[in-house]
Structure 1
């Protein structure tokens, strides 16, 4: 019980730090922005692992002065089979703060992928909840011609338990390098799990996500273009390969 209280206190402190930092920054920058968009993908792959087939993935976001709050979801097309436990539904909420031009971003995310029909979304009891709370730290090199980014994510509360029922603190680290060739934006990803984690089906250090993503646009009219993308993903740990196609709808 004491440990749970300490975790809750830690989450509260982090949230307050994010809020205070955003409030201070907003005195110098009053810009407010919203994100409303949706992706349709041929299959949903998360950190190199297959989740479900064709899915629609909406995003609703708010950002101001370096602070952002984003709600992202994924729903497949098996909703009518919810009674059989076959419908995939995920809702992720992320609060993040980017520290000016330092390239450093701190985030706290609530990941929930219990699926349609699981209900009890607001159950946050440590041993019962279907939520995963995850802290993240990302950094992008301040080099225009070499914009390599690196990130580390650790689950610190919720459903991520080991065989003994204790918090496993499953972690995932990722490198990303964006570049472009003619009209195509490209991004190379390498993701690893540093130690044993049931979430990623690993018993030790493992490479789980090697990917190349290409993005371009199809011009529909003079004022509207449709962004499309293709994503080749290899999971060396599971010896699995995926090729995903999708497009994005946004204002």
Structure 2
């Protein structure tokens, strides 16, 4: 299936679902000490902005990442729909990772895109356990997949997330079935004024498959 068709179809469905309902616009940005994604090092310290439109259970948005040393840039379109404890997500990844090179990569060269489907499920507030399954279905001949389970533990000082991630077969993440993420994340709200606070977080990540470790810091605006 042509990737441009997938993008246009996603946008068409998005507009059809939200045009007769009230829209909510959300804009935010993270600043991270390094870009770690599913147990893999992607890039150095970066700013990661995003903007989205939401109506009911549907969200359409764009997310990106740009490293401060101009060595990495990413531009992702996504559309999601939530119903009950389920969330369905389609993401189009565009990664011009050779940004410093003289030869530029055209955004409209759809052979450079990867499109991923995601199914998420949460047990709810009484049991703060959630599961996510991700599979590339365009732009990846291996159909690389990633599964993650996370458990949240609120405390009086910080909120703790325990994360376990794995890939079921050979692909982007590993040469076969492997646990690629064991992580702990601590998040705290830092009050700036009576009406404004900044969430900050620290995350320790171990990739048992690559035997690599990461410690990162981030803040959200």
TM over 0.5: yes
Partner of 2:92: 110
Matched, 1:58 2:53: no
Give the distance between the partners of 2:15 and 2:193, measured in 1 at CA.
44
Shift of 1:21: 8.4
Equivalent positions of 1:61-140 (< 5 A) are 61-79=52-70, 87-99=71-83, 102-115=84-97, 116=99, 118-124=104-110, 129-140=111-122
Write the distance in 2 (CA, Å) between the matches of 1:106 and 1:247.
26
Contact 2:90 2:118 survives alignment (8 Å): yes
Higher helix share: 1
Partner of 1:203: 175
Residue 31 of structure 1, CA deviation: 4.0
- Is the Cα contact below 8 Å between 2:91 and 2:115 reproduced in 1? yes
- SS of 1:182's equivalent in the other structure is coil
Which structure 2 segments of 5+ residues have no match? none
1:213 alignment counterpart: 185
Deviation sequence 1:130-183 (CA, Å, 0-9, x none): 1100011111114x221211111111111x2xxxxxx21111111111221113
Residue from 153, 159, 162 that aligns with 2:134: 153
Unaligned runs of 5+ in 1: 80-86, 161-166
In 1, the alpha carbon distance for the partners of 2:41 and 2:142 equals 22
| Conservation of the 8 A alpha-carbon contact between 2:158 and 2:188 | yes
> Alpha-carbon deviations, 1:181-218, whole Å to 9, x = none?
11311211111000011x11x22100011111111122
SS at structure 2 position matched to 1:54: strand
**Aligned to 1:53, what secondary structure does the other structure show?**
strand
Match of residue 238 from structure 1: 210
1:13: how far off? 10
Larger Rg: 1
Q: Answer whether contact 1:112 1:131 (CA < 8 A) is retained.
A: yes
Partner of 1:183, secondary structure, is coil
Residue of structure 2 in register with 1:192 after alignment: 166
Q: Determine the structure 2 residue equivalent to 1:227.
A: 199
Q: CA deviation at 1:248?
A: 1.3
More strand by share: 2
Structure 1 pair 225/172, CA: closer, same or farther in 2 (3 Å)?
A: same
When normalised by structure 2's length, the TM-score is 0.89
**Shift in Å, 1:16:** 8.2
Q: CA RMSD in A?
A: 2.3
